[in-house]
Chain A
Amino acid sequence: MGLCRMRRSFTAAVFATGLLAGCASQTELEPGAVYDPIEPANRMVFAVNDTVDTFVLQPTAYMYKEAVPDPVRDMVRSFLEWLTTPVVLANNLFQGDWSAAGTTASRFVANAPLFGFVDNATGLGLEHREEDFGQTLAVYGSGDGPYIVLPLLGPSNVRDTVGLVVDYFLDPINYVGNGNPLERDGDRTRVQLARRAAGAVDFRARNFAAINDLKQTSVDYYARVRTIYKQRRDALINNGTPPAGAGGRSNTSEEFDEYVPGGQPAESAGPKSPSS
């Protein structure tokens, strides 16, 4: 049963990826812009998420940050990260990145004696790197697809949403014990929910001032988060190094092609007019 569902989700993933490849050329966007055809719906979900943040997540994170001492919070964070090892490792392997797979496996072993609560691996030069199936799809040439804001989970796009689903089924926690991964009740679901919630509180607490600042100082919070999501995902996909064949260029170089320094006549500075 579980296997059957898993196969179905893989089929869906392959199908969706095919769609994305088709989408890639369909719209002409300015360099750096995010394709967001369902913006009104996204803005609504975003507003709901933001409300949940203000009234639930932010106060919880604040209490957690103030009440729980630093070293304990570090342990929580290490443990949550340690639990992601199987999914990260699987994606290292899917991407054919053997050296990263070695690092992931070594990290797991180095931190295993204390069940991931203490991160000794980073000190040994084995640094954690996020990998997920969304990134794997990108490595195989999938475009982002339309931007989507997911309820509670936040900013995403079609590719990364497919990735989330696949990662869910890749996670061995879902196959421990009886039943199938989609079972509504049961300990496994509770474990998964607890883990997601803890992850959200931990993330919010670590970035407490930064996220508040992001909100307060923006003139369009939705648009700011949307572009940051895209840039951050692109950086993760490239693992911090510019894409091959880009020469000395960086991710955002294309945007600066039309840059005109200050001090030059303003009229010659105008980039292409909007009618083009």
Chain B
Amino acid sequence: MAFARVFAFVLLVLTAPVLARADAAAPEAFIHALADRALGLVTDKAADMEAKRARFDELLSDTFDMEGIGRFLLGRYWRLATPEEREAYLKAFKESIVYTYTARFDEYAGQKLVVDGSREDGQFTLVGSRIVDPNGNADVKVEWRLIRQGDDYRVVDVVIEGVSMSVTQRQEYASVIQSNGGEVKALIKALNERMARLKSSGS
């Protein structure tokens, strides 16, 4: 029943500093660099929220396969969507990610990310890591699913204590579309409405 606790940490994952290892192999080094960059952003007291959102947006574009993830989340409904719907959906999806994650930046409390190693899984590389809490709470296991892109990697999924963020979103989106007669439009509308709600509640 501890699944909810796990969700708090997805936000912290991106914000955790790193215990650097000189001999780190490529996928491990990629995660180290990602965490370092995210931490620099989270702990930057000088930047205002607007600037942080812009920089986080950039970080996502550089390190996550946002287009592939967006497509994956729609699953079989991607094919049914018109080009305009796809564009509107990808925009709404990315905006909601940026907004929800940056809103939680101030919850960071000194956690560190320890990278344990990596293994191959088909076209993907899985990197295992742990969030170590300085306040003595149990470690939280975080697994990263990466895909090769040229000489570099892109994140496809983050799995926290067995709960995959991409699979969770995909199931949620599918439910919204299914209960609205298979219309992708309904999901875009729901995403935009939620966005407006979050913005008006002001965080």
Contacts and interface: CB of A to CB of B under 8 A. Distances in A.
Mutual binders A and B: yes
Interface of A: 30, 32-34, 122, 127, 130, 154, 203, 206-207, 209-211, 213-214, 216-220, 222-224, 226-229, 231-232, 234-236, 238, 240, 247-253, 255-257, 259-263, 266, 269-274
Interface in B1-50: 1-8, 11
Contacts of A240: 141, 161-162
A252 B164 contact: yes
A226 B100 CA distance: 21
Contacts of A33: 171, 174
A76 to B, nearest CB: 15
B172 A209 contact: no
Contacts of B173: 219
- 9 closest A-B pairs by CB: A235-B162, A262-B67, A223-B175, A210-B8, A270-B79, A232-B3, A227-B171, A262-B68, A219-B190
Interface of B: 1-8, 11, 65-72, 75-80, 86, 96, 100, 104, 107, 119-124, 126, 138, 141, 143, 145, 147, 149, 154, 156-157, 159, 161-164, 166-168, 170-176, 179, 182, 187, 190-191, 194, 197-198, 201
A207 B122 CA distance: 35
14 contacts: A30-B76, A33-B171, A210-B5, A214-B4, A217-B100, A219-B187, A224-B172, A228-B163, A250-B126, A250-B159, A261-B154, A263-B149, A270-B79, A271-B79
A210 B3 CA distance: 10
Contacts of B161: 232, 235, 240
Contact of A274 (B8, B76, B86): B76
Contacts of B143: 250
Contacts of B107: 209
A224 B126 contact: no
Contacts of B198: 216-217
Overall SS of chain B's interface? helix
A256 B172 contact: no
Given A228-B4, A261-B156, A274-B80, 20 more contacts: A30-B75, A210-B7, A220-B172, A228-B6, A228-B163, A229-B3, A231-B167, A232-B162, A248-B120, A250-B121, A250-B143, A253-B121, A255-B166, A256-B156, A259-B68, A262-B69, A270-B76, A271-B79, A274-B76, A274-B182
Nearest to B150: A263
Contacts of A236: 162
B121 A219 contact: no
A271 B8 contact: no
Given A209-B8, A271-B75, A248 B119 contact: yes
Nearest to B124: A256
Contacts of A238: 162
B182 A262 contact: no
